[in-house]
């Protein structure tokens, strides 16, 4: 049953010339609820009634025509919605004409949604993607308007964008992949909301295939880990960087954001139990905590740098401020990550080790566990991955010595 659409003269607010605002009234038959929407049209009571008669006189035809246009737009929106909700109707009714086919409009909706969920990093990625696509469209397609519609983005357009990024600007396929996966999500959103037809989708087999980014294996081998662990830091900054790098390594490759958000209530019975901040909003249907059993090294880091006030709700480490905003938290976490990377690398340089980052701790953890016989499924659970293929990308392969030992025993029947 379609909602009923009528007009309502809002006589609660008298304006100049004895006029009142005309509101669009949408009555949802199923929920038995109504909402009023501004039309930006004012009228006297007499003109309003005359314009809505079956055959209005000539002097009321302009008002009637304007109201018919508004009602026609509202009815079109209602007919396009697979399931009517006031929120879905309002988004379409109050936006500018043509917004439904604009990728800017849909990007901005996703960005706003991510920010409302405090997913500042994801919002930033979508924003970077949008800026890159707009820049390409202006420079390569000679389009001055600064907007892109879904109709413009074809397989050829996407191939041109890839060449522009890789060959023209020296960007990596990983960057192209990240930006175009965001665009693909925008397309899926527009299709799901009946803004565009599914046959406009430019991705997939026999269309444009997004480059599969191959992650560089970022793991230290056993000898390198041993060397870094036994290294002697030159100052307190290197010591702190080393301590937190190995804290991450020994706690299932916990990333810095999760370390920053760690509370004393998360430490129970010799283990840390936490939910990954990165995926907590996307895995609510199968939310499962990660359990990292504390090593002696990890416990020493907590004792050394942890807050003396061990109340359950208190943050363990002084990385972010309690009750700070998501943007403030992101800035503090980025600063702390840069601090670790800067000083762990100066320590690595003095030890003749490769340049690493906090991300290497996570990869090194996964690789070390697999090389020591842990199953891929166990590592998947310990890392909090929803997909086993993601876990496989963390594995840097077996060391040559392991391969030699295996080959030597191959013929021992």
* Same-domain status, 358 and 235: yes
* Same-domain status, 185 and 248: no
Domain final residue, candidates 46, 64, 94: 94
Q: Does residue 148 contact residue 133 with C-beta atoms inside 8 Å?
A: yes
DSSP 44-102: -HHHHHHHTSSS--GGGHHHHHHHHHHHHHHHHHHHH-SS--HHHHHHHHHSPTTGGGB
**For residues 237, 215, 362 and 397, what is the CA-based torsion angle, rounded to 10 degrees?**
-120
Q: According to the model, what pLDDT value does residue 64 have?
A: 94
Domain final residue, candidates 94, 109, 134: 94
Q: Is residue 214, in this structure, part of any structural domain at all? A: no
Q: Is residue 207, in this structure, part of any structural domain at all? A: no
* Same-domain status, 229 and 312: yes
Residues of the chain scoring pLDDT < 70:
141-145, 213-217, 279-287, 385-413
Q: According to the model, what pLDDT value does residue 411 have?
A: 47
Domain final residue, candidates 165, 200, 235: 200
* Same-domain status, 245 and 286: yes
Q: Is residue 169, in this structure, part of any structural domain at all? A: yes
* Same-domain status, 37 and 138: no
Q: According to the model, what pLDDT value does residue 135 have?
A: 92
Q: Is residue 209, in this structure, part of any structural domain at all? A: no
* Same-domain status, 116 and 78: no
Q: Is residue 196, in this structure, part of any structural domain at all? A: yes
- 272-305: b or e for each residue (b if 16 or more CB lie within 10 Å)? bebbbbeeeeeeeeeeeebebebeeebeebbeee
Q: According to the model, what pLDDT value does residue 52 have?
A: 94
* Same-domain status, 336 and 356: yes
Q: Is residue 410, in this structure, part of any structural domain at all? A: no
* Same-domain status, 277 and 140: no
Q: Is residue 212, in this structure, part of any structural domain at all? A: no
| Cα 314 to Cα 191: distance, rounded to the nearest angstrom | 44
Q: Is residue 215, in this structure, part of any structural domain at all? A: no
Q: How far from chain centre, in Å, is Cα 35?
A: 32
Number of folded domains that form the chain = 3
* Same-domain status, 183 and 230: no
Q: Does residue 365 contact residue 297 with C-beta atoms inside 8 Å?
A: no
Q: How far from chain centre, in Å, is Cα 19?
A: 47
Task: List CB contacts of 148: < 8 A, sequence separation 6 or more.
Answer: 102, 103, 104, 133, 134, 137
| Cα 296 to Cα 310: distance, rounded to the nearest angstrom | 19
Please write the tens of the pLDDT for every residue from 182-198.
999 999 999 988 889 99
* Same-domain status, 142 and 244: no
Q: What is the CATH number of the domain that holds 372?
A: 1.10.443.10
Give me the phi and psi of 111, to 5 degrees please: -60, -45
Q: According to the model, what pLDDT value does residue 260 have?
A: 95
Give me the phi and psi of 251, to 5 degrees please: -105, 55
Q: According to the model, what pLDDT value does residue 393 have?
A: 63
* Sign of the CA dihedral running 303, 304, 307, 308: positive
- Name the residue range of residue 58's domain: 4-94
* Same-domain status, 118 and 183: yes
* Same-domain status, 280 and 383: yes
| Cα 338 to Cα 354: distance, rounded to the nearest angstrom | 17
| Cα 162 to Cα 176: distance, rounded to the nearest angstrom | 7
Please write the tens of the pLDDT for every residue from 41-78.
999 999 999 999 999 999 999 999 999 999 999 998 89
């Amino acid at each position: 049953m379609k909602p009923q659409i009528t007009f309502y003269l809002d006589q609660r607010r008298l304006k100049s010339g004895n006029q009142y605002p005309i509101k669009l009234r949408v009555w949802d038959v199923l929920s038995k609820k109504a909402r009023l929407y501004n039309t930006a049209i004012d009228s006297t009571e007499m003109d309003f009634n005359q314009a809505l008669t079956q055959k209005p006189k000539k002097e009321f035809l302009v008002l009637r025509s304007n109201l018919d246009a508004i009602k026609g737009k509202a009815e079109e929106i209602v007919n396009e919605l697979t399931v009517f909700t006031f929120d879905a109707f309002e988004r379409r009714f109050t936006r500018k004409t043509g917004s439904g086919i604009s990728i800017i409009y849909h990007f901005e909706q996703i960005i706003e949604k991510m920010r409302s969920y405090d997913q500042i990093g994801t919002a930033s990625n979508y924003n970077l993607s949008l800026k890159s696509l707009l820049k390409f469209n202006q420079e390569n397609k000679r389009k001055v308007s600064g907007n892109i519609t879904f109709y413009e983005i074809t397989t050829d357009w996407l191939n041109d964008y890839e060449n522009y990024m890789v060959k023209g600007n020296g960007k990596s396929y990983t960057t192209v992949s990240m930006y175009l996966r965001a665009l693909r999500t925008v397309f899926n959103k527009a299709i799901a909301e009946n803004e565009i037809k599914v046959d406009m989708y430019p991705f997939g087999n026999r269309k444009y295939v997004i480059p599969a980014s191959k992650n560089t294996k970022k793991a230290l081998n056993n000898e390198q880990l041993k060397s870094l662990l036994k290294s002697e830091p030159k100052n307190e900054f290197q010591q702190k960087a080393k301590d937190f790098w190995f804290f991450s390594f020994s706690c299932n490759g916990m990333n810095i954001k999760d370390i920053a958000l760690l509370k004393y209530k998360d430490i129970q019975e010799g283990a840390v139990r936490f939910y990954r901040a990165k995926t907590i909003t996307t895995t609510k249907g199968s939310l499962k905590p990660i359990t990292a059993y504390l090593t002696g090294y990890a416990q020493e880091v907590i004792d050394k740098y942890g807050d003396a006030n061990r109340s359950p709700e208190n943050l363990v480490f002084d990385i972010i401020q309690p009750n700070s905003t998501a943007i403030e938290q992101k800035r503090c976490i980025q600063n702390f990550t840069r601090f670790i990377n800067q000083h762990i690398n100066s320590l690595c340089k003095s030890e003749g080790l490769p340049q690493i980052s906090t991300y290497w701790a996570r990869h090194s953890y996964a690789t070390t566990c697999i090389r020591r016989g842990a199953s891929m499924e166990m590592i998947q659970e310990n890392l909090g991955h929803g997909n086993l293929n993601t876990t496989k990308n963390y594995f840097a392969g077996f060391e040559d010595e392991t391969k030699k030992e295996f080959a030597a025993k191959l013929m021992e029947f």
